[in-house]
Amino acid sequence: MTVELAPPPPGRSAAADRAETRRRRVPYLLLAPGLVWLFIFYVIPLFQLLRMALTTGNLQAGYVFDWVWENFTQVFTTYQPQLLRSLVFALATTMITLLIAYPLAYAIAFRGGRYQSLFLLLLLMPLLFPFLMRTLAWRIILADQGVVVQTLQNIGLLPSNGRLLATGWAVVAGLVYNFLPFMALPIYVSLEKIDNRLIEAANDLYSTPFTAFRKVTLPLSMPGVISGSLLTMIPAAGDYVNVELLGNPQQAMMGNVVQNKFLNIIDYPAAAAISFTLMVAIVILVLVYVRSVGTEDLVA
Amino acid sequence: MDTRTDIPAVELDGVTKEFADFTAVYELNLAIGENTFFALLGPSGCGKTTTLRMIGGFEDPTTGVIRLHGEDVTGQKPYQRPVNTVFQSYALFPHLTIFENVAFGLRRRGVEDAEVKRRVNEMLELVQLTPFIKRKPKQLSGGQQQRVALARALVNHPRVLLLDEPLGALDLKLRKEMQIELKRIQQEVGITFIHVTHDQEEAMTMADVIAVMHQGRIERMGEPTEIYEDPRTAFVAGFLGASNMMSVTVVDRGSGAVALNGGTRLHIDPSKLDGGDGTVRVGVRPEKLRIYPIDEVSLPPNVLQGTVTDASFIGVSTHYLVEADHIGEIAVVAQNLDDHHHRPGDPVKVGWLPQHCFVVA
Ligand SMILES: Nc1ncnc2c1ncn2[C@@H]1O[C@H](COP(=O)(O)OP(=O)(O)O)[C@@H](O)[C@H]1O
Ligand SMILES: [Mg+2]
């Protein structure tokens, strides 16, 4: 290497320019594999799904792409109840899960002491068992002769011939149970990150513990609330297992319709149109939810 | 200051704080006057933060009583005390703008909007942050964040402001500026500041009164010059600056005559000899010593003879190390007033006045 003693030439050297170009290219190069992946496994299938939704025909005779929109219109006519139920169940599940998960995560984060990891492990433990088995277990819990129904009947919250299994309550209960860890975990993470000195500072500035929670802890945990809600709401809206195992056809959600069309009736165009519509509906639901819950004060 | 009253702004009465396995503060008695800039000085881990947190209400003392302006506040919650804190790491609310950070306390107390606006703006002007009003804390530099923390506390007009190493995270130059700034603000708003620091120079620069803390106790308390000149304990003497320590035997308590090991007579202020008997330890600060050529005849009462072992010229002064008989190496800081530059190996005399000696327990 030689030592340059002369002042640098006016403007930039060609080498510096090349280095600059290379530097700017790096982020794109790093993103490239991900973008290719997304394109092959997300954009193309999505496009195919949309295309399939606009075809007529069946498996034996083949499909013809002819811009038929009937598959979409039937979603809002024939399957309107299922669509609405999906969204209502998803919203209800999200709300109830949030109400249970927030205090739970708060207790673990602020009162867990040295048992925090143990509590987290307990929270995640159910995930070690198959989804199906856990949901089936709820059939026993909510069974007509089970303890829960009997107790509710005894204290008069349920009429003597009332039941839980095969009702919307059972479906929502199953959904809440299954998604609880996915709600609690992100909330725990965002609560755990909060510096205790911020709460002390709020106390110092005339906040009672409740005001400090409302003005500091809660806003700072909103990122966790939002990601937890998304992790709950999106899969819940598309779920069909809980209805299948805990509900009955009267509680069918969009997921059940899709499953039926794809696997039983083998009506791919209808199934595609329903899937696509459900996806758009979920995106709208999520946007509305995030806008109403989140504020511009959100921090990363 | 004429606004001071007889009732201290802050009073700690036999305050002890025990953690599970550790006593952080031991039997602390402390009275801090109104409008005082009070510095709690001590090395890391000596219990400064714990003391401050007890005054703020974040920790309850294990025993003892805390009074603010005569009122017993022991057991009161932080939000019930007329005290505000500037936290060690600022603890600014990351989700709020600078304006809302500063307005936080006023809003909690239900001050009306127009008044909040007026006071926050006024305070941000005082700390020169008006242009940053809409930013979030993360978008400010360390020094600016520090000033937000100060404004957020001061805007509430607390009667006592607690500051826990508020300048610790700043670089040296900024720290020096903020020291002067803090002192100016304290004089302007006229309230009691309790400033925790481990930096003796910072404490000396700003404080009216300094308490030197060591292992959960206050070893010495007084005005900066007073405790510097007469530290009373070896720890305080060492913590506040360099000093030359020597063991002497008391010869005549009345005149303050003492003798070194080899018999050399020294004289110290007799009033400082009260408790000590037999052998006592005395000290003298390097800048109080003067260095003379070996043949000098007009000398102060205390003189030692020795040989220069090291001389370093640093512009404003020259630092000498002199190997003196019976004592060992002593440090001398000489102002560059005369032409005498002594070199290593030169025989010299080192002299000082009796009143510049202090005695430590
Ligand atoms: N909550 C606590 N539990 C146990 N020990 C503590 C606690 N807080 C402080 N201490 C101990 O008390 C001593 C004094 O701490 P602190 O007041 O923070 O010192 P300083 O502020 O002077 O550095 C330290 O040894 C520290 O480890
Ligand atoms: Mg500290």
CATH of the domain at A220: 1.10.3720.10
Q: Are B285 and B356 in contact (CB under 8 A)?
A: yes
The residue that leads in pLDDT, A67 or A177, is: A177
**Chain A residues closer than 8 Å to B134 by CB:** none
pLDDT value at residue A8: 52
**A209, part of any domain:** yes
Polymer length of chain A: 300
Sheet of strand B71-72, all strands in order from the earlier edge strand to the far edge? B22-32, B10-19, B63-68, B71-72
Q: CA-CA distance, A191 to A222, in Å (whole number)? A: 9
Whether residue A201 lies inside any domain: the answer is yes
- Between strands B279-284 and B357-360, the pairing is antiparallel
Q: What CA–CA distance (Å, rounded) separates A257 from A262?
A: 8
- Is residue A140 assigned to a domain? yes
Give the per-residue pLDDT at A1: 45
Q: How far does residue A77's CA lie from ligand 1's centre (Å)?
A: 69
Phi-psi label, residue B140: left if phi above 0, alpha if psi -120 to 50, beta otherwise:
beta
Residue A240 counted as domain residue? yes
ipTM for this prediction: 0.84
**For B109, nearest residue in chain A (alpha carbons):** A206
Q: What is the dihedral of CA B169, B173, B175, B179, to 10 degrees?
A: 180
Q: Sign of the C-alpha dihedral, residues B169, B172, B174, B176?
A: positive
Asked if the structure places residue A125 within a domain, the reply is yes
Q: Do A297 and B96 touch (CB under 8 A)?
A: yes
- A40 found inside a domain: no
pLDDT at B2: 45
Spell out which chain B residues touch chain A, with contact meaning CB-CB distance below 8 angstroms: 56-58, 77-79, 83-85, 87, 89, 91-96, 104-105, 108-109, 136, 152-153, 156
For residues B37 and B207, is the Cβ–Cβ distance under 8 A? yes
Q: What is the pLDDT of residues A244-292, one digit of tens each?
A: 999 888 889 989 988 888 888 888 888 899 999 999 988 898 888 888 8
In a domain, A262, yes or no: no
The pTM is what? Answer: 0.82
Asked whether the beta carbons of residue A205 and residue B108 sit closer than 8 angstroms, the reply is: yes
pLDDT, tens only, B148-189: 999 999 999 999 999 999 998 888 888 898 899 899 989 988
What does the pLDDT read at residue B277?
A: 65
Please give the average per-residue pLDDT across B249-272, as a whole number: 88
Is the separation of the CB atoms in B259 and B321 below 8 Å? no
Bridge partner list, B302: B352
Number of domains in chain A: 1
A102 vs A190: CA distance, rounded Å: 11
Is A172 domain-assigned?
yes
What domains lie within chain B, and their CATH numbers? Answer: 10-235 (3.40.50.300), 244-360 (2.40.50.140)
List, for residues A68-116, the tens digit of each pLDDT value.
888 888 888 888 999 999 999 999 999 999 999 999 999 999 998 899 9
Give the tens place of pLDDT for each residue, B287-344: 999 999 999 888 999 999 999 999 998 888 999 999 998 788 999 999 888 767 889 9
Query: For the stretch A185-218, what's the b/e string if a residue is b when 16 or more beta carbons lie within 10 angstroms of its beta carbon?
Result: bbbbbbbbebeebbbbbbbbbbbeeebbbebbbe
pLDDT digits (tens, 9 = 90+) for B13-48: 999 999 999 999 999 999 999 999 999 999 999 999
Domain of residue A176: give its range: 92-253
Per-residue pLDDT at A291: 83
Return the closest-CA partner of residue B191 out of B37, B80, B2: B37
